[in-house]
Structure 1
Amino acid sequence: MRRLLSAVAMLILLTSACGEDTLAAGTYDGPLAAEGRQGAAHRVVECDDAPTGGNNYPGEYDNGALSDEPEAALRTAFDEAQITGVHDGYVLVREDDDRALFTFTDAGRVRQALIVHDGEAFGKEGWYVESWARCDYAELPAAVAERAGVEIWFDADGPVSTRRVHSADGPEHCGWQHLTFLSLGETTYVRDADTEYAEWTDAPYDSEADLPPHAVDTGFHRDGDHLWRSPDGTRAYVGNREKVAVWPRTKDGFTCA
């Protein structure tokens, strides 16, 4: 097995991007190799909501290139968009045979964990991210969600899980970057829908309208805008009590492949 670098030398990225809390190392005494959808990394993170992640154990890695060193495997995984979340500030907290555990800690809690493995894939040997897990974007530093293009909403208690509500620009590879999609639970609304997409929405988009008296207050807000929706769920109203934009609900099939 290739010799792992020391913990100090493997502070792979500058921690200044996310504050001194990134230097705090999480502890985990369980196995670094584990089956299941998210693998051992899922057991390391300390999240309020259910974590997101993935697992390539056992020997199922076919997602991208292999790396010569464990820290390089992290960069490869991010460069190839294999994983999402925090890009900077990881610390090596444990070495276990041919595996190594990196964690990102914020406010004293492990918010993202990556386990790299020195194994075989494509008939070659090298390092790759075997399992990873992260907390919801609402539990990560604000700059992380901003970098990912995810807009976090708030309620009276603070940031709200993206499983409940979030908004983001549409994907560039479909030419939808001028659209903004708002997910409210299992319902999706869209801002600035072109007329060519009118058949995929339940109502027209209106950039300026009066707030209907029957609008249902969701309690969510961000950047000075508040969020209401119609009683039948076909429209979302984003703005203030003076004026709102009317976002229509999207129909099934309005997706980007």
Structure 2
Amino acid sequence: MDSEELNSIAGPDHCGWESAVMLHLGWPLGTVSRTSAQIRQYIRDPDQVIRYGVSGKVEIGVDLPPDAQDTGYRNGALELWLAESDPHAAFLRAGDEVERWPRADPVVACD
């Protein structure tokens, strides 16, 4: 898999965002992105250090929506799921544990 199809990075420390994780997913699903317009960005920010652009906060210990679909993307035991009923979130599942990561739109970046 190309890193421009799916990647995750720690938030940049020079902005004070090091406690956040940013997930970038080529969109539509499977796209190898060349620009920020071709990605969806989801953010895990439990300390809420990113103060703009994120549609909500991370939710831990949630249920997958009934229409959630497994994307097939994996990192060890971690699975990525998406749901049409909740287009502003990605769901990360490890075993029985599920987290809802909100989408940033437009893509969040710091200087």
Question: Please, what TM-score do these two structures have when normalized by structure 2?
Answer: 0.76
Change (3 A) 1:196 1:176: closer
How does 1:39-54 map onto structure 2 within 5 Å? none
SS at structure 2 position matched to 1:210: coil
Q: Flag the structure with higher helix content.
A: 1
Query: Aligned partners of 1:172 and 1:198: how far apart in 2?
Result: 15
Matched position secondary structure for 1:173 = helix
Residue number among 26, 41, 66 corresponding to 1:188 in the alignment: 41
Identify, as 1 or 2, the structure richer in strand: 2
In terms of Rg, which structure is larger?
A: 1
Q: Which runs of 5+ in 2 are unaligned?
A: 27-38
1:77-96 correspondence runs (5 A): none
Give the 5 Å matches for 1:67-78: none
- Please identify runs of 4+ aligned residues in structure 1 that moved more than 4 A: none
Q: C-alpha root-mean-square deviation of aligned residues, in Å?
A: 2.0
Aligned counterpart for 2:93 among listed residues 239, 243, 249: 239
The separation in 2 between residues aligned to 1:206 and 1:191, in whole angstroms, is 9
Contact 1:211 1:243 in 2 (8 A): no
Unaligned runs of 5+ in 1: 1-159
Matches within 5 A, 1:1-257: 160-185=1-26, 186-195=39-48, 197=50, 199-231=52-84, 232-240=86-94, 242-252=96-106, 254-257=108-111
Q: Which amino acid aligns with 1:237?
A: F
- Taking structure 1 as the reference length, the TM-score comes to 0.35
Looking at structure 1, the residues matched to 109 and 83 of structure 2 have their Cα atoms a distance apart, in angstroms, of: 23
- Total equivalences in the alignment: 98
Which one has more relative contact order, counting CA pairs under 8 Å at least 6 apart? Answer: 2
**Sequence identity (%):** 32
